[in-house]
Structure 1
Amino acid sequence: MPAFGLSVWRLIGLMLLAAGAAALAWQFQDWRYGRQLAEQERLHAEALNQLTSAAATAQQAEQDKRLALEQRLTASEQTHYRALNDAQRDQDRLRDRLATADLRLSVLIDAGDAAQGCGVPATAGAGGVDHATVRARLDPAHARRIVAITGEGDRGLIALQACQAYIRALAPAHFE
């Protein structure tokens, strides 16, 4: 029996050794997978940090573009507002000069109409530059209406220029 007992103990020892080796191998696998998971987690965190940094950089660039656009639009608006005020001031001066008879508007008359009996006197003087062309003075009320119409036209052109400048300022931002 002692020989049989020795082999049982050997068998038990081998089984314990095999179980220990398996447990050690299992522990090694667990450690290796844990290290791989930690490495993947680190790489994932780095990728997220890079994406966050790139997004922040892109957002800052867009904010800078928007600020630059706002500044250009503000400058353009001020320029056109100034032009509108200047045109209004010029129209007011012209209207005042017409009202005080400091200025009279006149129109050129076709020489053929004057020859056919229009009866409008020529107003060329020694200091005139029209060389005796026939002119007719406009009624002050008509002159004021003409000035008002040209004033509206000036304001319309200034507003159109402002709109065109606004579109030109926006177009590069939308088509980049």
Structure 2
Amino acid sequence: MRLFDLIPTQYRIAAVGLLLVMLAAGSAALAWTVQGWRYGQQLERQARLHADTLNELSQASAALQRTEQGKRFALVQRLQNKDQTHHKELTDEQTKQARLRDRLATADLQLSVVLAATDATSGCSVLSTTATGRVVHGTTRAQLDPAHAQRIIGITDAGDQGMIALRACQAYAKEVSTPK
């Protein structure tokens, strides 16, 4: 006799049912575990791909930022060079103007203007002398008063400084507006 025959019939059916339920539950638990492993591997692969993508994006962003910083640094250097050039022009022009004013103040230099041909015959009492050592052919000149000459030099000095400042502004605007 077998052990199975010793179990009463109603318990046999319950035992077979219990065995089938345990077999079904075991296979479901095994399937659940295998699916968890597969999904875990897929999630791990996706997380790795996501991390790699983020790393590539951050590297590309850093490279772009370095490039832009390099461009900005180059622009700043060019602007500083141009600023130094324009500052040198301005100081040179101011030095020239100061020397010219000094020469006018010491009567080392005198300014004169050319008179129109009709003014010479109109009986004007302006002296038309020329500096010694010069020969002026055909034009009549009148010497300016040193105070008036100083004012004229001051006006031309302001104009020269304005032109230098305008060139500096134009160079700055051109440098900033043109992409390189």
TM-score (norm 1): 0.89
Task: Specify which of 86, 96, 113 is matched with residue 102 of structure 2.
Answer: 96
User: What 5-or-longer segments of structure 2 have no aligned partner?
Assistant: none
> What is the total number of aligned residue pairs between the two structures?
173
User: For 1:1-176, what aligned pairs fall within 5 Å after superposition?
Assistant: 2=5, 4=9, 5-123=11-129, 127-128=134-135, 130-172=136-178
Asked if the contact 2:83/2:168 (under 8 Å) is kept, the reply is yes
TM-score (norm 2): 0.87
Letter matched to residue 136 of structure 1: A
Asked if the contact 2:129/2:143 (under 8 Å) is kept, the reply is no
Deviation at 1:13, TM superposition (A): 2.2
Larger radius of gyration: 2
Question: For 1:133-171, what per-residue CA distance to the aligned partner results, in whole angstroms no more than 9, with x for missing partners?
Answer: 111000000001001111111111111111111111211
Give the secondary-structure state (helix, strand or coil) at the position aligned to 2:110: coil
Asked if the contact 2:128/2:143 (under 8 Å) is kept, the reply is no
Deviation at 1:19, TM superposition (A): 1.1
Letter matched to residue 95 of structure 1: R
Give the secondary-structure state (helix, strand or coil) at the position aligned to 2:113: strand
